[in-house]
């Protein structure tokens, strides 16, 4: 059964730092992995999607990498800003069990001004 873990659960950094959020999954048979952002009391916004055949995806100051064989993904945020403060979730779409995404519990990020 696929399990997704995100460490740390919470992170507080000063503005301007480059930071890395981690996501690990137990079953490497995946279609893709998606990173989401969730602001307090709101829904999820998709940030990046990495297909199983890809190694990384970039969008602005965000870069997500995928190492399927080791069951790991990282989200790199460059030059962090207070507006980046949110909870970041990763989700994997396994090749077994159609239609289901398995979510991690998220990393709550606070960027201090």
Partner 1 sequence: DVKVTQSSRYLVKRTGEKVFLECVQDMDHENMFWYRQDPGLGLRLIYFSYDVKMKEKGDIPEGYSVSREKKERFSLILESASTNQTSMYLCASSLITGVLETQYFGPGTRLLVL
Q: How far is CA 109 from the centre of its chain?
A: 12
Question: Does 83 sit near partner 1 (CB under 8 A)?
Answer: no
Percent helix / strand / coil, the chain, rounded to 5: 5, 60, 40
**Distance from C-alpha of 75 to C-alpha of 97, rounded to nearest angstrom:** 26
Scan residues 50-69 and list those touching partner 1 (CB under 8 A). Answer: 51-53
Question: Does 110 sit near partner 1 (CB under 8 A)?
Answer: no
Closer to partner 1 by CB, 66 or 80: give it: 66
Instruction: Say if residue 103 is exposed, middle or buried (CB neighbours under 10 Å; 0-12, 13-18, 19+).
Output: middle
Closer to partner 1 by CB, 91 or 109: give it: 91
Question: Does 43 sit near partner 1 (CB under 8 A)?
Answer: yes
Residues that bind partner 1 (CB under 8 A): 31-32, 34, 36, 41-46, 49, 51-53, 89, 91, 93, 98-101, 103-106
């Amino acid at each position: 059964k696929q399990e997704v873990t995100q460490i740390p659960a919470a992170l507080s950094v000063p503005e301007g730092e480059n930071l890395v959020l981690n996501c690990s999954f137990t079953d490497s048979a995946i279609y893709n992995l998606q990173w989401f952002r969730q602001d307090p009391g709101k829904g999820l916004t998709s940030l990046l999607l990495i297909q199983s055949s890809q190694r990384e995806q970039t969008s602005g100051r965000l870069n997500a990498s995928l190492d399927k064989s080791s069951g790991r993904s990282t989200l790199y945020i460059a030059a962090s800003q207070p507006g980046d403060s949110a909870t970041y979730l990763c989700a994997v779409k396994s090749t077994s069990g159609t239609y289901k995404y398995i979510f991690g519990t998220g990393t709550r990020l606070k960027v201090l001004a």
